Amino acid sequence: MKNNVFTQVQLNFRSALKASFYPALLLMLGFSLLAVSCTKSDSQRIPDVTVEEIMDFASQQLVILIDETDAAIERNPMSNRGPHVNSRAVRDGELFIIPSRDWTSGFMPGLLWFMYEYTGETYWLEHAKRHTAHIEREKTNAGTHDMGFKIYCSFGQGYRLVDDPHYRDVIVESARTLITRFNPTVGAIRSWDHNTDRWDFPVIIDNMMNLELLFRATQITGDSVFYDIAVEHARTTIDVLFRDDYSSYHVAGFNPETGELTAQHTHQGAFHASNWARGQAWGLYGYVMSYRFTGYAEFLQQAENIAEFILNHPNLPADLVPFWDYDDPNQPNTARDVSAATITASALYELSTMGTNQSAYYKNKADQILASVYHNFRSADGENFGFLLERSTGHLPHGYEIDVPLIYADYYFIEAALRKQRLEAR
């Protein structure tokens, strides 16, 4: 009898335990899982950054960059390609300075114009003018397609801010020089003059960036020839450089006599069918910009499709800064490319202004990229000769500028910050 009573007491106790403890335990487990989930989410969440934080940091670093550049040029004023004028990168722990012929020569002046735009200070204006003047000799250099990178990023930004008629003349003459490389049979502007064993008439995705110079030349002069060539080049690029998923090859080769497509390569990528990260960013930026000048829906659609490819790529890291090639089989043990991230952020800010139903999404992603770059990839204060950002990759297959500061990463970083400021001021 005692055993029966004791057994009944045990059963009653267990029933009570089930009724009270198990639900409580489940509730506790639920909170624990929620806490784990929140912790994981919070660890991946990118802290916000303000434009003021970015520009304060930039102002301190770029003073150093100016001084370091001037000192390096004084020590080594000439190269076999002409006088050294500006800085491009940090190579092997040393400041790498360049002549005006280098495709990156316009980015340092452009950065200084951005600083003048933000601060209105004479210091930045004087240095912007000085470093811009070094690029003028390029206005008649018909041996390159990089006229937009060199002239528009320097003289173009300056003309936008100070309306100097001399700057206007340089822009127009540079545009006239650039269109001498247009082949109407191909329907595009020739890119490189090298590697003729691989292609007779190459057109590269980077060349989309040079169209801004042509569009502006038509705005300035009223002459539609620049505009018409830019539009035809952009349309040809869609036809020959983009795959069905809106990823891009790097190079399309043509027969210049017949216009026949002869090659589709990815010269700076992991392999020809791979997705070189900076190339995808050039394409996005180029079609956003082309839509701004033309209003053609085909260019806006192309930009949105490229944005979708980039932002939803399964190999895009959680911090939104891509590896140098989305398809590098050595991921994650391979180089990042911060420059691809900053170009993308700048393009997304502009894309968010174009009235699509994804505008808020594009702005949010641009904010996240900008914050990620600032918090995770910026130089330590006073380091890297005044460059703003680390871990960009120039040309991994050729073995140079791998995981280093690069001037164009900084340029598009600050352009993105100023676009963010203008958006939020509205």
**219/215 Cα distance (integer angstroms):** 6
Paired tokens of 286: 């180029």
**359/300 Cα distance (integer angstroms):** 12
Partners of 378 in the β-ladder: 389
Backbone angles phi, psi at 332, to 5 degrees: -90, 5
DSSP string, 193-251: SS-TTT-SEEEEGGGGGGHHHHHHHHHHH--HHHHHHHHHHHHHHHHHHB-TTS-B-SE
Q: Which of 334, 171, 196, 184 is nearest to 263 (CA)?
A: 196
Greatest Cα-to-Cα distance within the chain, rounded to the nearest angstrom: 111
Q: Which of 385, 210, 212, 370 is nearest to 289 (CA)?
A: 212
Q: What are the catalytic residues?
A: 146, 206
**185/207 Cα distance (integer angstroms):** 18
Alpha-carbon distance values, 234 to 28, 291, 296 (Å)? 59, 10, 11
Residue owning tokens 């490389």 = 181
Q: Is the dihedral of CA 202, 179, 350, 86 positive or negative?
A: positive
